[in-house]
């Protein structure tokens, strides 16, 4: 027990998370990590090392036991003799309205509540119960998604008003700490749902890596997150001289001289471009491929790129980024067609007020239209798309294998045979795999190589929707 107490105290001191005068609001879910956090910080409060001013709980209304968890957290606050603040929110409806995953909507709702509670209580910081295991899971998830150095930095011990005193503790030793007290905690059964990527990493991938490759994999991954964080902070500081050269002559426009970028190492160029693109996109995710396309554009004589919620152009001696609404028609350039990552599960806003979504399922949709890809729904083999999917417009020379055809066919000839008007062909989204093989000509047909041949196969369901209208 004393080892855990000492480790948390060292973490607080190492990262200067709080001082004896700091007023702390503790986020309490009722799980083992957050209960241990509340108890440990109250212990430090008793020694005048900080001040715990309240415990806060957000009820996501996602589980039948959610109200019971809220009552349990109130009891923990009473046991620790601390004020308790709580709030409920309909996360499912928010996720649907904002077209987010339930997990993302829950995180946003929870953090918004915690910030409101912090201001209401007058606390200086919000303490979160993330552990070293959470850090390793986050690093692995982001690495699998192809995150850059900033993403691989994972969770910072201190990030603005958020502090993570348990970030150097393992989950198992915190449970041992609670058992020794003893202190009760609740089990969130949604953590057992392996359809959620983080849970699948926790329950399947990490144990596999631990047993077959490295018994210390959690420590190794968490160490890598620490290294990535320090490197990212160094790059952020080093890139400031380039960022200072950015001009904003008009609202929603960013300009930087190409010569200024060219003087820097490629790593810093990529860092600055990613930061500008993220800002121009209003915080919308920008992938490595997007940044790489812009670096290629810089090396050419001109042109423009359509990117998530913004566009990038090379105009004379400047690189110009311009924000645009998600529904605005994409600006295309023949050498740089739109090529966007499609998250699984997730959604992607396209031109023409359209939305393309992907989700995994355990068995195929039995409707014929879904199986063949005619209409707004397509069902394709998940095992062949495991590397990820992307969306782009057509290119000269595109070929694929239409459903039921033994050989390959030019996409141009397919459109002619189907009597697709020439003016509409560039606007037909193509879903492709990481090898740039066409998976679905959206609304027309799936490629025969990706068709579902066994009802028991894991599949991916693709949907093309028109916002504000019928699909």
pLDDT, tens digit, 9 for 90 and up, residues 370-399: 566 678 899 998 888 766 788 888 887 889
Percent of the chain with pLDDT over 70: 90
pLDDT of amino acid 469? 45
Question: Which secondary structure element, helix H or strand E, spans residue 360, and what is its range?
Answer: strand 354-361
Which of these CATH numbers, 1.10.443, 3.40.50, 2.60.40, 3.30.465, describes 256-323?
3.30.465
Residues across the chain: 471
Record the tokens describing residue 247, joined without a space.
Answer: 């001009």
Record the tokens describing residue 432, joined without a space.
Answer: 């492709």
pLDDT of amino acid 337? 41
Model confidence pLDDT, tens digit, residues 183-203: 999 988 878 888 788 888 999
- Is residue 285 within 8 A of residue 104, CB to CB? The reply is no
Distance of alpha carbon 238 from alpha carbon 299, whole angstroms? 23
Q: What is the average pLDDT across 421-427? A: 85
Mean pLDDT taken over the chain: 86
Bigger pLDDT: 218 or 300?
Answer: 218
Model confidence pLDDT, tens digit, residues 284-315: 777 777 888 888 878 765 567 777 788 888 88
Sequence spans of domains, the chain: 2-233, 256-323, 339-466
Q: What is the average pLDDT across 198-221? A: 94
Of 123-132, 249-258, 333-342, least confident by mean pLDDT is 333-342
Percent of the chain with pLDDT over 90: 48
Whole-prediction pTM value?
0.65
Q: Other CB atoms closer than 10 Å to residue 151's CB: what's the count? A: 18
Query: What pLDDT band is residue 339 in, cutting at 50, 70 and 90?
Result: low
Give the DSSP per-residue string, 361-388: ESS----HHHHHTBSSEEEEESTTSTT-
Class of domain 2-233: alpha beta
Could you give phi then psi for residue 435, rounded to 5 degrees?
-90, 10
pLDDT of amino acid 353? 67
pLDDT of amino acid 328? 42
Question: Which secondary structure element, helix H or strand E, spans residue 66, and what is its range?
Answer: helix 66-79
Q: What is the average pLDDT across 427-437? A: 88
pLDDT exceeds cutoff 80 at 421: yes
pLDDT exceeds cutoff 70 at 109: yes
Bigger pLDDT: 178 or 195?
Answer: 178
DSSP type of residue 350? E
Query: What pLDDT band is residue 33 in, cutting at 50, 70 and 90?
Result: very high
Nearest Cα neighbor of 56 from 43, 45, 37 is: 37
pLDDT exceeds cutoff 80 at 454: no
Of 8-22, 97-111, 123-137, 321-335, least confident by mean pLDDT is 321-335
Q: What is the average pLDDT across 235-250? A: 87
pLDDT of amino acid 2? 81
pLDDT of amino acid 176? 95
Nearest Cα neighbor of 307 from 326, 246, 299 is: 326
Class of domain 339-466: alpha beta
Pairing of strands 125-127, 162-163: parallel
Nearest Cα neighbor of 345 from 102, 92, 91 is: 102
pLDDT of amino acid 232? 87
- Is residue 343 within 8 A of residue 358, CB to CB? The reply is yes
Query: What pLDDT band is residue 331 in, cutting at 50, 70 and 90?
Result: very low
pLDDT of amino acid 18? 97
Q: What is the average pLDDT across 19-23? A: 97
DSSP type of residue 394? -
Bigger pLDDT: 367 or 317?
Answer: 317
Distance of alpha carbon 215 from alpha carbon 222, whole angstroms? 13
pLDDT exceeds cutoff 80 at 224: yes
Distance of alpha carbon 154 from alpha carbon 219, whole angstroms? 14
Record the tokens describing residue 133, joined without a space.
Answer: 């295991």
pLDDT exceeds cutoff 50 at 365: no
pLDDT of amino acid 385? 78
Bigger pLDDT: 339 or 200?
Answer: 200
- Supply the Cα-derived Rg of the chain in whole angstroms: 25
How far, CA to CA in Å, does 401 sit from each of 342, 366, 410, 413, 414?
A: 22, 22, 9, 12, 10
């Amino acid at each position: 027990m004393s080892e855990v107490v000492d480790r948390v105290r060292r973490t607080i001191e190492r990262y200067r998370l709080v001082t004896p005068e700091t007023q702390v609001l503790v986020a309490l879910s009722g799980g083992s990590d957050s209960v241990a956090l509340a108890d440990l910080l109250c212990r430090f409060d008793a020694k005048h090392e900080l001040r715990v001013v309240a415990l806060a709980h957000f009820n996501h209304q996602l589980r039948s036991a959610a109200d019971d968890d809220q009552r349990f957290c109130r009891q923990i606050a009473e046991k620790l003799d601390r004020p308790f603040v709580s709030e409920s929110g309909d996360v499912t409806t928010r996720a649907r309205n904002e077209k987010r995953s339930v997990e993302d909507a829950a995180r946003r709702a929870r953090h918004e509540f915690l910030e409101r509670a912090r201001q209401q209580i007058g606390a200086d910081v919000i303490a979160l119960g993330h552990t070293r295991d959470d850090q390793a899971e986050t690093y692995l998830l982001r690495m699998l998604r192809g995150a850059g150095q900033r993403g691989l930095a994972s969770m910072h011990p201190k990030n603005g008003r958020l502090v993570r005193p348990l970030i150097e503790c393992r989950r198992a030793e915190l449970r041992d700490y609670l058992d020794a007290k003893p202190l009760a905690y609740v089990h969130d059964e949604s953590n057992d749902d392996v359809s959620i990527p983080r849970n699948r990493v926790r329950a399947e991938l990490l144990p596999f890596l631990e047993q077959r490759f490295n018994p210390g994999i959690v420590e190794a991954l968490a160490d890598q997150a620490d290294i990535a964080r320090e490197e990212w902070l160094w790059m952020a500081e080093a890139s400031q001289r380039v960022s200072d050269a950015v001009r904003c002559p008009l609202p929603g426009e960013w300009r930087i001289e190409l010569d200024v970028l060219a003087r820097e190492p490629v790593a810093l160029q990529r860092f600055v471009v990613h930061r500008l693109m993220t800002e121009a996109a209003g915080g919308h995710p920008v992938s490595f491929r997007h940044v790489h396309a812009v670096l290629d554009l810089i090396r050419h004589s001109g042109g423009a790129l359509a990117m998530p919620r913004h566009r990038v152009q090379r105009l004379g001696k400047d690189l110009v980024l311009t924000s645009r609404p998600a529904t605005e028609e994409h600006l295309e350039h023949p050498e740089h067609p739109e090529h966007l990552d499609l998250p699984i599960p997730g959604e992607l806003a396209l031109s023409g007020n359209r939305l393309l979504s992907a989700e995994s399922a355990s068995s195929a949709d039995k409707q014929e239209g879904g199986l063949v890809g005619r209409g707004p729904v397509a069902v394709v083999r998940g095992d062949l798309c495991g590397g990820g999917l992307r969306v782009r417009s057509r290119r000269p020379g595109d070929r694929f294998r239409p459903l039921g055809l033994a050989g390959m066919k030019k996409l141009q000839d397919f459109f002619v045979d189907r009597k697709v008007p020439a003016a509409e062909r560039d606007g037909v989204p193509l879903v492709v795999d990481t090898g740039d093989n066409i998976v679905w000509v959206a609304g027309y047909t799936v490629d025969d190589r990706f068709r579902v041949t066994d009802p028991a196969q894991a599949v991916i369901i693709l949907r093309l929707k028109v916002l504000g209208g019928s699909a």
